[in-house]
Structure 1
Amino acid sequence: MMSLSWITGIVTGLAALHFLQKKLFPYFWVDFKFLLKVMRYGFQIEMYKRTGNVVTVVDRFIQQAQRIPGKSFLIFQGQVHTYSDVDRRSNRVARVFINYSTLKKGDTVALLMNNEPDFLNVWFGLAKIGCLVAFLNYNIRSRSLLHCFHSCGAKLFIVGADMLETMEEILPSLQEDNISVWVMSKETSLQGVNTVLDKLESVTDEPLPSHLRKVNSIRATTLYIFTSGTTGLPKAAVIGQLQAIKGAAGIWAFGGKPDDIVYVTLPLYHSAASLIGIGGVIYLGATCVLRKKFSASQFWNECKKYDVTVIQYIGELCRYLCRQPEREGDKDHKVRMAVGNGVRGDVWKEFLARFGEIKMCELYGATEGNICFMNHTGKIGSVGRTNVFYKLVFPFELIKYDIQRDEPIKNQHGWCERVRKGETGLLISKVNSNNPFFGYAGNKKDTTKKLLCDVFKKGDLYFNTGDLMVQDSDNYLYFRDRIGDTFRWKGENVATTEVSDIIGILEFIQEANVYGVTIPEHEGKVGMASIILKPNKVLDLSSLYNQVITYLPGYAQPRFLRLQERMEVTGTFKQQKFRLVKEGFDPIEVKDPLFFLDDSKKSYVPLTKDIFDKIISGLLKM
């Protein structure tokens, strides 16, 4: 009897503990399981740090090419490229630059290419000879493009065959600086420009000596990926081996498998596609279906055609897919997992209802940042979840922030204050040896501006993400907005000062104040510019249209204009944006003249109530 009573007591106690765990700590086991997985990978990274034997993403690719040479690595426009194919062709690319250029280990090469297999062949080939690669955004033009090239200290410029027109705009400046320019074609009529493809057959595809790509520090720079950060022209975010290795484990951490087929439609110059997408495929030894550009109408057709199991997304992509006409068999596909960021809660729900029970793996992280969140439980609308264990590894805080003054709120002692759960605060992440901030290449000023010093005590240092977030009672985090002089549209960061500078070149513009405004059913904010004319000058809408179309990528072109007589400024003489953002572009509410960018008329036109209503209702596409 005593024995039976003892067993009954244990069972009752365990049942009670299970009940309490479910009631008080409902996410304990799912968090614990995910934590073990992360710790396992963290231990591997720690060994890289201690031993100096760093296995880079390209090292991992070479290992996979030796292990599974005949497996499909890349499928592009119906053509299959095996791991061995890409390994051998990237060897040839590497040898072309060894034999025909002056490149040496440690040099930086700028790459301007669309999504295509040779993007990877060039990237891997250059890495195999120890060169750093800067991924240039193919949407930027002229002055911004030239700035990007010089800011990363590149000594050589490689351009895709279909990007020649963009490159020609800056070619004279490059040649004045004795920059070696190469194009991925067999021939070119451009004087002084070298070709790559005609030289590939003259070199061997034998492996390169491993010492050329050898990396002794996990902090060593491997890439430059451009981000608009918070102000000014695009900045070259320094991507260390640590960031690349962490990014490559993202799909695996969410449950990716070697037999997965990953569909990548995002641009490879973005860290999402290159580090998480391609890096993730390499880490798993999986297969990537690469598309030149995203197409909402062809998306699911290709997923079905290639038996895709994992897709990458940004919020806009999911919304575009949901806006496509409904078809019979919308759920008839093999996609089981979607990895990405920036999808709104309502779009998230609609996406699942429309396309089936896909595991949505939302994550958060800035290209240059030192913190990330991963929503491993699938909580709709959340960018991730934190707990005591997570904060030990990635210490962060949400602090009080004055949106109108555009600065953190400090108490009477001069220290920042944490917000309570449920309150919106600025996300800051502690900078330390485990979570370094590498900053921007050749830009000490902007690197320093991203750091907050003496936040809670003398000597502490935090990375300012520039993002406002809220943490709920279950420790889920939700993105709310961006601060300062950047907004996000079409999945891209738009630096308001860069747009202002482009508009300000026009001889009739005295000042331009650029900001983002919200539109129903759209992620992010669309560009709007408040402008002041010079004395005795008139507004030339056609010239203004031509200026922004010529010198700004589509996502950065202000769709709305507001003509004001004077510019409001803050007490520190910064342009005041808060009221302008709040008032938006409703011609009934705003008394100043408003204009809308009309591509059909190749000009800005007066923003009428009819145009406004069509935009708000979704009849006029943005």
Structure 2
Amino acid sequence: MELKDRQYQEYAGFLRGNVDFTIGKKLEKVAAQKPDYPAFIYQDKQVSYQEFHIRANRFAWFFVSEGIRKGDVVALWLNNSPDYLAMVIGLSRIGAIAALISTELKGEKLAEDINLSEARLLIVEDGFKEKLEEAKDFLRLRYPGKILFYSEVLNLLPEQTENPSCSEVKNFEPFVYLYTAGGVSSRKVVPLNHYRWLLTGETVRIYADLTPEEIGYTCIPFWLNSGFSGAFAAMLASESTLVLAPGFSATAFWDNICKYNTSYFLGTGQMFRYLWAVEPGEAEKKHGVKKVLSNGMPADLFTPFKERFNIPRIVEIYGTTENVGILVNIDEIPGMCGCLYLGGEKQAEVVRYNEETDDFARDEEGRLIRCSAGEAGILLLKVDEYENFEGYINNFEETEYRLLKNIWENGDLYFNTRDLVRLHANDYIEFVKRLDEIYRWRGKTVSAYRVRDVIRKFFGPVDDAYVVGVPVRGYEGRAGLAVVKLLAGEKLNWDKFTEYLKKRLSRAEMPVFIRLTTTGKRLKDNRNRYIEEGFDPSRTKEELFVYDQEKEAYVHLDEQIYQDILCHKFWI
């Protein structure tokens, strides 16, 4: 067994044998060993590990004063900051759970996510007051159902700095709720426990060779798994420093990397495209970046990106929001999102699947058939007492839908990712696409079901709607194409319709393309046709529209605009 695999196994064994070791205990240990070492750089100010530890304790006592107890849920609707994470750890220290709410959600859809968590308390960023008013009528918090703004919390923060008793908190208990889309329902709440989070951070530390001297950089929101279980977990595992950027700017990116003397950063698919599209500058060569932690690095950019920006290592990591297993492209093979083996053990399988029947291929005995190298199939992640999947909160149907039992041997259990991947030599896999009614756009997972639901509720002319993700040359993921059927004789008021969508959908959820149809069939029956024809006006007589970012409006998509999109003269 190689050294890194041995380190992985030893840490997993440590966590299993020390169930009292939690995220709170980890921070307490680091703060005691290196109290003055910077944990974060935020708004050009350093926050030491001791300051972060004390801040988490003060938040813990605040939540106790608000009547929050073990097992209670507090929804955090905040921008990235050290205090955001201090609240999470403060809640974990009293056995409570933080539901991490997307800052991109609006109105009824925002309320739905908050309601799914069954939170007793909601903490809101001060700048979100207007958005809160739009969602208030739909909110259904559990008793006492209190809403506090971040500034109000700071005014109420106790002076107590000692560590609250957390002896009853175990690392197999959940401390965070994350959200994911797809499957047989639109949104699901995923519980994340201390064990899985700590092991994920240690996995990244080991296989990316992160050291305490590192300075990481992230602009990924912490309500995303890649932000919370990637950036934050890796920072605490390596006991290093993390720069929290307010957002992503392709033009200012390398200047910021140089400013903070960053040694690694975290990136997602489209982010790399944006960086590549920027005119070359001095900063992109003067930085000290030694490695990139990637989720979705395009195969065609892998080597050119390393060469142009002088990056020694790119560590591609595949993970799910459910945090069952983690796959790593240890050998840096372009286009591969990970390997089925980690820590010397096989974590996953790729099995044959028929897209037309939406079912697995089986042998004569009815068992699933493993793919051979070169074949595409569904990625299944092994579930056991350690790589556990506790199920979605209050969603038994979706939980059962995702779990496959006794598929090769009695008692075996696998999590169905619904990700189509291609198996390559040495058990490496290449991501192909997501199944179900979900797709990735702008680095976010979009629920087609959710977007479709919003469009169908537009009062007036809409009879039906269906949403698919379609590939666009030169862009990562798939752009949303909404097929809209109007009632007979009705016309669409584009100004009202666009404003309606913008108030209810995030930037990633906004359909890039809209196709008006008059078909008499169920729209779902034409799914494959819509994907095949995409947004090419030469392939359909039905009207196509594209969202113009400069005009902030949908415009008619003709052949010229279609060609401009392909040549990146018309940016989507």
State the secondary structure of the residue aligned to 2:10. helix
TM-score (norm 1): 0.87
Match of residue 428, structure 1, among 369, 372, 380: 380
* From 369, 376, 385, the counterpart of 1:417: 369
Cα deviation per residue 1:394-413 (whole Å; 9 max; x = unaligned)? 2x221111223333233454
Q: Is the Cα–Cα contact under 8 Å of residues 112 and 135 in structure 1 kept in the other structure?
A: yes
In the aligned structure 1, how far is the partner of 2:50 from the partner of 2:419?
42
1:323 to 277, 288, 293: 277
SS of alignment partner, residue 493 of structure 1: strand
Distance in 1 between residues matched to 2:533 and 2:274, nearest whole Å: 27
Q: Compared with structure 1, are the counterparts of its residues 237 and 389 closer, same or farther at alpha carbon in structure 2 (3 Å cutoff)?
A: closer
1:388–1:282: structure 2 CA closer, same or farther, 3 Å change rule?
Answer: closer
Q: Secondary structure at the match of 2:177?
A: strand
**Alignment check: 8 A CA contact 1:424 1:469 kept:** yes
Q: Distance in 2 between matches of 1:368 and 1:468?
A: 17
The equivalent residue for 1:118 is: 83
SS at match of 1:362: strand
Please say if 1:40 is aligned against 2:10: yes
Distance 2:278 2:100 in 1: 31
Counterpart CA distance in 2 for 1:41 and 1:575 is 50
Structure 1 CA distance, aligned partners of 2:147 and 2:551? 37
Match in the other structure for 1:489: 441
| Structure 1 match to 2:223 | 269
Q: 2:489 aligns with which of 533, 536, 560?
A: 536
Q: Secondary structure at the match of 1:556?
A: coil
Instruction: Look up the equivalent residue of 1:134 and give its one-letter code.
Output: A
Q: Is the 8 A contact 1:115 1:293 kept in 2?
A: no
Matched, 1:524 2:524: no
Matched, 1:445 2:397: yes
CA shift at 1:516, angstroms? Answer: 0.5
- The worse-fitting range, judged by mean Cα deviation, of 397-406 and 70-79 is 397-406
CA drift at 1:432? 2.4
Residue 615 of structure 1 corresponds to which residue in structure 2?
565
Q: Equivalent residues in 2 for 1:358-373 (5 A)?
A: 358-373=312-327
Q: Which residue of 2 aligns with 1:204?
A: 159
Shift of 1:454: 4.8
How large is the Cα RMSD of the aligned pairs? Answer: 2.1
The aligned residue for residue 583 of structure 1 is 533
Deviation at 1:460, TM superposition (A): 4.3
Contact 2:59–2:90, Cα closer than 8 Å, also in 1: yes
- For each residue in 1:495-533, what CA deviation from the matched residue of structure 2 results, as whole angstroms up to 9, or x when unmatched? 111111000012311211100111111110010011212
Residues 68-217 of structure 1 mapped to structure 2, 5 A cutoff? 68-99=34-65, 101-174=66-139, 178-185=144-151, 195-200=152-157, 203-211=158-166, 214-216=168-170
- Matched residues in 2 for 1:35 and 1:94: separation? 36
Match in the other structure for 1:23? none
* Structure 1 residue runs without a partner (length 5+): 1-30, 186-194
Classify the secondary structure of the residue corresponding to 2:210.
coil
- TM-superposed deviation, 1:300: 1.1
**Paired letter, 1:274:** F
Secondary structure, aligned partner of 1:345 = coil
Q: Residues of 2 paired with 1:113 and 1:425: CA distance?
A: 38
Distance of aligned partners of 1:453 and 1:508 in 2 relative to their CA distance in 1, 3 Å threshold:
farther
Distance in 2 of aligned mates of 1:262 and 1:435: 27
Distance 1:433 1:92, change over 3 A: closer
Structure number with greater Rg is: 1
Percent identical: 27
Contact 1:248 1:275 in 2 (8 A): yes
Match of 2:464 among 511, 531, 538: 511
Q: Separation in 1 of the partners of 2:24 and 2:570?
A: 45
Residue 329 of structure 1, CA deviation: 4.6
Counterpart secondary structure, 2:565: helix
Query: Structure 1 263/329 Cα, relative in aligned 2: closer, same or farther at 3 Å?
Result: closer
Aligned CA distance change for structure 1 residues 176 and 88 (closer, same or farther; 3 Å): closer
Note if contact 1:404-1:578 (Cα within 8 Å) is conserved in structure 2: no
In 1, the alpha carbon distance for the partners of 2:527 and 2:411 equals 32
- 240, 244, 249: which is aligned to 2:197? 244
* 1:170 counterpart SS class: helix
Q: 1:250 offset after TM fit, Å? A: 3.2
Which secondary structure state, in structure 2, belongs to the residue aligned with residue 58 of structure 1? helix
For residue 20 of structure 1, what is the aligned residue in structure 2?
none
CA distance in 1: counterparts of 2:425 and 2:50, whole angstroms = 50
Residue 429 to residue 588, structure 1, CA distance change in 2 (3 Å)? same
Give secondary structure in 2 for the equivalent of 1:474: helix
The CA distance in 1 between the partners of 2:265 and 2:204, in whole Å, is 10
- Equivalents in 2 of 1:239, 1:93: separation in Å? 20
One-letter amino acid of the counterpart of residue 156, structure 2: K
Paired with 1:389 and 1:87, the residues of 2 have a C-alpha distance of 31
Question: Is the 1:61–1:282 contact (alpha carbons within 8 Å) kept by the matching residues of 2?
Answer: yes
- CA deviation after TM superposition for structure 1 residue 327, in Å: 1.0
- Could you list the per-position Cα deviations for residues 83-132 of structure 1 after superposition, in whole angstroms to 9, with x for gaps in the alignment? 12222222222222323x12112211000001122212221222222211
Distance 1:265 1:248 in 2: 18
Asked whether the equivalents of residues 532 and 565 of structure 1 are also in contact (C-alpha less than 8 Å), the reply is yes
- Report the Cα distance in structure 2 between the residues aligned to 1:560 and 1:329, rounded to whole angstroms: 36
Separation in 2, partners of 1:257, 1:424: 37
Do structure 1's residue 339 and structure 2's residue 287 form an aligned pair? Answer: no
User: Any idea what the Cα deviations from partners look like across 1:387-433, whole Å, max 9, x if unmatched?
Assistant: 597444x2x22111122333323345443222221101111123322
CA distance in 1, matches of 2:343, 2:33: 36
Match of residue 465 from structure 1: 417
Provide closer, same or farther for how the CA distance between residues 512 and 409 of structure 1 changes in structure 2, counting only shifts above 3 A: farther
Query: Quick one: which amino acid aligns to residue 288 of structure 1?
Result: L
1:562 to 498, 507, 515: 515
Report the CA distance between 1:245 and its aligned residue.
Answer: 1.3
Aligned partners of 2:363 and 2:517: how far apart in 1?
37
User: Partners of 2:343 and 2:209 in 1: how far apart?
Assistant: 20
Q: 1:283 to 1:135 in 2, by over 3 A?
A: same
Alpha-carbon distance in 2 for matches of 1:66, 1:559:
51
Structure 1 segment 282-293 matched on structure 2, within 5 A: 282-293=236-247
- Whole-angstrom CA distance in 2 between matches of 1:157 and 1:462: 35
- TM-score under structure 2 length normalisation: 0.94
Aligned ranges for residues 345-424 of structure 1 at < 5 Å? 345-387=299-341, 390-392=344-346, 394=347, 396-411=348-363, 413-424=365-376
> Could you tell me how far apart the structure 1 residues matched to 2:265 and 2:430 are?
22
Distance 1:286 1:443 in 2: 38
Q: What is the CA-CA distance between 1:467 and the residue it aligns to?
A: 0.7
SS at match of 1:158: strand
Q: State how far apart, in whole Å, the 2-side matches of 1:595 and 1:388 are.
A: 46
Partner in structure 2 of residue 314 of structure 1? 268
In structure 2, C-alpha distance between the alignment counterparts of 1:244 and 1:301, rounded to whole Å: 31
CA positional deviation for 1:176: 8.2
Structure 1 contact 146–170 (Cα < 8 Å) conserved: yes
Deviations 1:326-383 (A, max 9, x none): 0135221111011121111112222112111331010101011412211122122211
SS in 2 for 1:37: helix
